Amino acid sequence: MFVLIGFIVVIAGVLLGYTLHEGQIILLWQPTEFLIIGGALGD
């Protein structure tokens, strides 16, 4: 339970900090990186 709460707090903190520095959250979405990371883990 604490791990889930910690995960949510960390993700919220990163997203909030990014938007406070006038970043666009949509730029964090990189589907090709998930493909590369997933392919590397499959080896």
The label of the residue with tokens 């590369």 reads 36
DSSP 27: G
pLDDT tens-digit readout, 3-43: 999 999 999 999 999 999 999 989 888 989 888 888 888 76
Which pLDDT value is given to residue 43? 64
What count of other Cβ atoms lies within 10 Å of the Cβ of residue 15?
Answer: 13
pTM: 0.61
Structural contact between residues 25 and 19, judged by C-beta atoms closer than 8 angstroms: yes
